[in-house]
Each structure stands twice: as structure tokens, then as C-alpha cells.
Amino acid sequence: MTVSDAGAATDVPVPDELADNVLITSVAKLLDPVYNWSRRNSLWPLGFGLACCAIEMICTAASRYDLSRFGMEVFRASPRQADLMVVAGTVTKKMIPTIVRLYNQMSEPRYVLAMGACASGGGPFKEGYSVVDGVDKFLPVDVYVPGCPPTPQALINGLIALQEKIDQQSIAKVPWYRKDDPTAGIYPVPVLGPDLIDVRQLDLIRAEAAKQQEAQVAEVEGE
Ligand code: SF4
């Protein structure tokens, strides 16, 4: 008799008396589900909030919505012990350097969920002088949850979407085991000056500043 894993046929013979107890599979096929199952059911969020959306996030963790059903109720006070960053609230230019620094202090595997209109794209404060129009300008966002604010049910739906994303990952391909670029997971911390400076754009900023300077010099010399 043959036993299959997830419907795949196999030629390995299994005695009838053991058929109910033996599962034939490969290491690769077994490893991914176990690896993903353990991570998806023990996501520990970083315990911080930025604005009104954070109140809904707190409600989600309370008894009525019972986030512990998903293994996600252990909000950690330290980024070293967290693997999920729920960006709940308005991301201001003053806060984004701290948020990026916290993200860099989280160890892989780590995930980011943008909760609400503000974190996803600036929300009602988009174009505001002090507001970043989306945390994805600086961090890799895995799931966006719409709403202003999203309800606890919407957040849970987003967390389930994240679990489904984790289910699709393979231990052989996940980025955090890559050896070619050990700094690939480090995101540059933006600098807050008169405005926010994305250090990844420094060359472009310098070139534009030089152009403006040349134009001003030419203007003065032409007078
Ligand atoms: S999306 Fe709405 S509820 Fe959430 S932080 Fe922004 S203004 Fe507040």
C-alpha cells in the first residue's frame, strides 16, 4: 500500500497495519509547513502606538477580540523580542527615524503591518508639513489594513492575511538566510533636519542642491 503526503503519490510501500500512523514525505516538504506553522502562530507584536489607531489595536488585544487565539497577544516592550511591527497611527517626520531604528533592532524574520489610512498613505493628514505619507516610504510593509480607524475585526483580518503570506514562504528562499549581503536587512535611518532627509537619496539631494546653487550664482552674476 502507498501513503501520500498532501495528495502527492509516492512509491514507498507502507504495511497496512501502519497506514494510519505513517506519513511519507520529504524533508523539504515537511520543513516548510512546520517552520511556517510555528512562526504564523506565535507572532509577537512590538508594543507601541502612534495615534488613534493604536486604541483600536489595544482593543484587539483585549478580551472581547482575544488576539491570543492567534498566538499574537504577547506584545513585547523590546524590539529584540518582537517580530511584528504594527504601525498604528499617524507617522510624523519626527517619529520616523525612531520607527526605522526600532525596526532595525528587530531580528529576522520580521514583518510590518500598516494599520489605517495614516500609516498606509498619510490619511487625513497627507500633505501636512509634519506627516510622512506612508510608512512604506521607509520600511517594507507586508500588509496594509484600510480604515480610519480600522476596527479590531479589520486588524484581525489583516493579521490573518499576514499568516497566509507566511504560509507561502519557503525556508530555502526566505531573505533572512541570504549570505551575499549581510546588511541587506538594515534600513537607513532618515535624518530629521529642516525636512526629512532620506539618506538613500543623498546623491540626488546633493546634485539638486548643486544645481540650485549654480543657478543662484548665475543669477547674481547676471545682475
Ligand atoms: S487613520 Fe484615522 S484613526 Fe488612524 S491614526 Fe489616522 S486619523 Fe487616527
Phi and psi, residue 10, nearest 5°: -140, 155
In this prediction, residue 96 carries a pLDDT of 93
* C-beta of 122 in contact with ligand 1 (< 6 A): no
Residue 122 alpha carbon to ligand 1 centre in Å: 9
In this prediction, residue 166 carries a pLDDT of 93
Burial class (CB in 10 A: 0-12, 13-18, 19+), 93: middle
> Which residue's alpha carbon is at the smallest distance from atom 5 of ligand 1?
89
**Three cell numbers, residue 63:** 478580551
Residue 187 alpha carbon to ligand 1 centre in Å: 25
Nearest to 68 by CA among 33, 43, 49: 43
Question: Which ligand 1 atom sits nearest the alpha carbon of residue 52?
Answer: 8
> Which residue's alpha carbon is at the smallest distance from atom 6 of ligand 1?
118
- Average pLDDT, consecutive stretches of 10 residues, N- to C-terminus, the chain (223 residues): 47 77 74 89 92 94 89 89 94 94 91 95 89 92 95 95 92 77 75 83 88 86 75
In this prediction, residue 112 carries a pLDDT of 96
Residue 55 alpha carbon to ligand 1 centre in Å: 10
CB 91 within 8 A of CB 126: no
* C-beta of 43 in contact with ligand 1 (< 6 A): no
Nearest to 50 by CA among 151, 162, 163, 135: 135
In this prediction, residue 219 carries a pLDDT of 81
Residue 56 alpha carbon to ligand 1 centre in Å: 10
* C-beta of 88 in contact with ligand 1 (< 6 A): no
CA angle 22, 167, 85 (to 5 degrees): 140
* C-beta of 123 in contact with ligand 1 (< 6 A): yes
- The 10 Å CB-count burial string (b at 16+, else e) for 75-87 is bbeebeebbbbbb
CB 140 within 8 A of CB 112: yes
Amino acid making up residue 43: L
> Which residue's alpha carbon is at the smallest distance from atom 3 of ligand 1?
149
Report the predicted TM-score, pTM, of the whole model to 2 decimal places: 0.81
d(CA 47, CA 214): 48
Question: Which ligand 1 atom sits nearest the alpha carbon of residue 53?
Answer: 4
